């Protein structure tokens, strides 16, 4: 049973997928260069890491 409804052709799907993949690679790549103190993640992890950093890196 084929449930395609034809909202966009295969070429448009590939463009959207390629664009999403490019943005994902840029976003994930930037995580490696982001300083720990600027991380917006879980506050408990950030507080733990802040205690582990030297005073001048906080």
6-58 residue pLDDT tens: 788 889 999 999 999 999 999 888 878 877 766 666 667 767 777 777 777 65
Domain spans of the chain, in order of start? 10-52
As a whole number of Å, the CA-based R_g of the chain is: 20
Q: What is the spatial distance between Cα 17 and Cα 25, in angstroms, rounded to a whole number?
A: 12
**2 C-beta neighbours (distance < 10 Å), count:** 4
Cα distances from 24 to residues 13, 15, 30, 38, in angstroms, run: 16, 14, 10, 20
pTM, rounded to two decimals: 0.49
Q: What is the spatial distance between Cα 34 and Cα 5, in angstroms, rounded to a whole number?
A: 42
């Amino acid at each position: 049973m084929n449930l395609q409804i034809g909202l966009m052709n295969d070429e448009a799907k590939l463009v959207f997928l390629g664009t999403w993949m490019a943005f994902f690679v840029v976003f994930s790549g930037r995580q490696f260069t982001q300083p720990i103190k600027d991380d917006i993640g879980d506050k408990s992890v950030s507080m733990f890491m802040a205690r582990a950093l030297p005073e001048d890196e906080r």
